[in-house]
Amino acid sequence: MEQMTEKQAPILELRHVCKTFRTDDGREVRAVRDASLSVYPGECVALVGESGCGKSTIARMITRLINPTSGEIILCGRDTSKMEGRALLDLYRDIQMVFQDPYSVFSPRMSVGTFLGEGLVHHGIMTRAQATEEAKNLLQLVELPPELMDRMPHQLSGGQLQRIVVARAVSIRPKVLLLDEATSALDVSVQKLVLELLSRLRKELNLTYVFIGHDLAVVRTIADRIAVMYAGMIMEELRSEDLAEAQHPYTRRLLQSVFSVHDRTNRKIIQVEDMSVAANASGAEGCPFHSRCPQAARECENTCPPLRELGPDHRAACLALSYAVPNDPVPPVT
């Protein structure tokens, strides 16, 4: 399937996107540094990384909640950064989003039925009466009983609310769904069910997903491809099924940090990191990971590593890898 989608034009494309914020005292924070990424129709691409890596900043730029400092974001063939007014409203017919906390999305005094119909009415697709009728189908779509129509948000659980948020997001049949930590606030049993729902909806409604998360295991189960971010840069991009063969030292570190329930018999050794000395200068030109990197060389301090092809659907930004034979695995971080 990947082979087929490769031939199509990407439905969403980031071209050299940068975002620089300025703090009150005039410092510049480079939240996103030269990010390029293509998402093909029907795919689920995940952006994964730790807090502050820029993944949510990218999400907010894709959905035009903020503007990029430079670079282009092409959605369905149009550059979104120049859109205004009517065009911007139309943008949201193509892309919808789901955030982490469903409670914050609801108006506390709006019933579920009204909430579900809002998008359809807002975009002029249906009248209020039709939308209310459609809301019942939407509930069914996300495996909830029709009795919930008249409920208020405070009467529902977090898992139910997140399903309803998903239902509203897909109600207007967008092409792309952006999920920003959409299952992170849910308890594990609920999280798994919502992920299964999302997987099913993607196929049934022919959606393309951009899935933003911090949990590698979660991201791997739902996404086709993964882009790993660190300090504003895309460090590595690879297919989900190849995650175990990740090459970038940061991705390896992430993988080593995941505690698996079932690896008690073969417990990994965690190397100590002294956090009191490592200071990352966000303005520095070098690799942002070099101060924590076990393979850092002197040149890593002041040379920004380019994202380089390592194999099919596999890119990494690391100077140390540039000299390695592509098949030569990097020693695991211990």
Partner 1 sequence: MALLEIEKYSITYDGLRSAVDNVSFHVEEGEIISIVGESGSGKSTLLHGILGLLPRSAATRGSLRVFGKEIPSLSEAEQRAMRGVDMAVIFQDTGRYLNPIGRIGKQFWQYLRVHGNYTREQAHDLAVERLKRVHLTDAERVLNSYPFELSGGMRQRVGIAMAMALQPKLLLADEPTSALDVTIQAQIVRQMMELRREYGTTIIIVTHNMGVASYMSDRIGVMKNGRLVEMAPAEELIYSPKDQYTRSLLSAVIELDDERMA
Within residues 80-139, the interface with partner 1 by CB under 8 A covers none
Which is nearer to partner 1, 51 or 104 (by Cβ)?
51
Within residues 224-283, the interface with partner 1 by CB under 8 A covers 224, 240-241, 243-244, 253-264, 267, 270, 272-277
Which is nearer to partner 1, 111 or 295 (by Cβ)?
295
Q: Convert 119-147 to b/e letters by CB count within 10 Å (16 or more is b).
A: bbbeeebbeeeebbebbeebbebbebeee
Q: Where are the beta strands (DSSP E) in the chain?
A: 12-22, 28-39, 44-48, 70-75, 78-79, 95-98, 176-180, 208-213, 225-230, 233-239, 308-311, 314-316
Per-residue x/- marks for partner 1, 46-75, CB under 8 A?
----xx------------------------
Which is nearer to partner 1, 127 or 157 (by Cβ)?
157
- The distance of closest approach from Cβ of residue 195 to partner 1 in the complex, given in angstroms and rounded to an integer, is 6
Which is nearer to partner 1, 120 or 141 (by Cβ)?
141
- The distance of closest approach from Cβ of residue 148 to partner 1 in the complex, given in angstroms and rounded to an integer, is 20
Which is nearer to partner 1, 109 or 262 (by Cβ)?
262
- The distance of closest approach from Cβ of residue 49 to partner 1 in the complex, given in angstroms and rounded to an integer, is 9
Q: Which residues pair with 233 in a beta bridge?
A: 230
Number of residues engaging partner 1 in binding (CB under 8 A) = 46
Per-residue x/- marks for partner 1, 177-216, CB under 8 A?
----------xxx-xx--xx--x--x-----------xxx
- The distance of closest approach from Cβ of residue 141 to partner 1 in the complex, given in angstroms and rounded to an integer, is 18
CA dist., res. 199 & res. 209, Å (int): 10
CA 122 to chain centre: 26
Please, are residues 115 and 165 in contact by the beta-carbon 8 Å criterion?
Answer: no
Cβ neighbors of 265 (< 8 A, separation 6 or more) are none
CA dist., res. 105 & res. 162, Å (int): 9
Strands 225-230 and 44-48 come out as: parallel
Which is nearer to partner 1, 246 or 307 (by Cβ)?
246
CA-wise closest residue to 39 among 47, 31, 49:
47
Which is nearer to partner 1, 87 or 217 (by Cβ)?
217
CA dist., res. 78 & res. 81, Å (int): 9
Count Cβ atoms below 10 Å from residue 88 Cβ, excluding itself. Answer: 12
Residues that bind partner 1 (CB under 8 A): 44, 50-51, 187-189, 191-192, 195-196, 199, 202, 214-218, 220-224, 240-241, 243-244, 253-264, 267, 270, 272-277
